[in-house]
Amino acid sequence: MSKPSAAVIAALKQFASCDIGDALVQLKVPYGGFLDGISMWSPERQAGETKICGEAITVKMVAADDTVAPKTAKHFCDFNEDGKIMYISQPKGMYSACWGGLMTTRARYLGTLGVVVDGRFRDVLEHREMGFPVFAREQSILGSGGFTRASEINVPVQFKDGLWVNPGDYIVGDADGVVVVPAGQMAEVVDLCEKRKAVDDKTFEALRQGEPIGEAIKRLR
């Protein structure tokens, strides 16, 4: 699969997670690519203008007592890369964190745009102090030691039935939520978002002029 062009990547960054999710629904991507339950915790709690958009580096975590699953050659945080986003898949139901302030410090040094945790994190004030974008399900006061460990890097990880996050997919996160865009469909997503924006602009203008919303939607959408 070829990497999306620089122009397509730049165009995708213009759109909000909601716009992209609507486009993915039209393309029949499961759940519109919406990573349900994951939200922004830093640098603010679901507020502000922060948005991350970048290629995913995936991390598959397993229970610490799993002696069968592979092991990583180095700490998973050291796999972060400049301009990318780390996506961590934690075993379901874990009450421990798998991301904390030390990891944010290292990720920032490596130029990572942010982290998305399908699970828990801790040290919320440390991330906010560093201004580092953290998206996750929930918090915890417990570290990963004795609970989970990293097993594989840059492998497909399942979010829920039918929805996967693959290395090289693009992740967009903002105050509304997080969406994953299959790399092979980015050009289609951008095209649909651009068309929808043109319609939305006309609809907003009609509403500002006093047109009833039902009529405006019927006429323009």
What pLDDT digit, counting tens, does each position of 167-213 carry? 999 999 999 999 999 999 999 999 999 999 898 889 999 889 898 99
Q: Residue 175: its pLDDT value, please?
A: 97
Q: Residue 3: its pLDDT value, please?
A: 82
Task: For residue 139, list its beta bridge partners.
Answer: 121
Q: Residue 219: its pLDDT value, please?
A: 85
Share of the chain above pLDDT 90, in %: 88
Nearest to 100 by CA among 121, 79, 125, 76: 121
Nearest to 17 by CA among 3, 36, 30: 36
Mean pLDDT over all residues of the chain? Answer: 95
Domains of the chain, with CATH numbers?
A: 6-183 (3.50.30.40)
Task: Give the integer Cα–Cα distance in Å for 89 and 25.
Answer: 23
What would the pLDDT profile of 130-178 be if each residue is shown by its tens digit?
Answer: 999 999 999 999 999 999 999 999 999 999 999 999 999 999 999 999 9
- Mean pLDDT for 44-50 is 96
Q: Does pLDDT of 1 surpass 70?
A: no
For 207, residues 6+ apart whose C-beta sits below 8 A from its C-beta are 213, 216
Render the burial of 100-138: b for 16+ CB within 10 Å, e for the rest.
bbebbeebbeeebbbbbbbbbbbbbebbbebebbbbbbe
Enter the pTM of the model: 0.94
- Mean pLDDT for 67-91 is 97
Q: How is residue 184 annotated by DSSP? A: G
Nearest to 46 by CA among 145, 124, 119: 124
- Mean pLDDT for 98-111 is 98
Q: In a 3-state reduction of DSSP, which class is residue 7? A: helix
Rg over alpha carbons for the chain, rounded to the nearest Å, is 19
Task: Give the integer Cα–Cα distance in Å for 207 and 59.
Answer: 45
Q: Residue 19: its pLDDT value, please?
A: 96
Q: Does pLDDT of 2 surpass 80?
A: no
Least confident of 24-28, 96-100, 201-205: 201-205
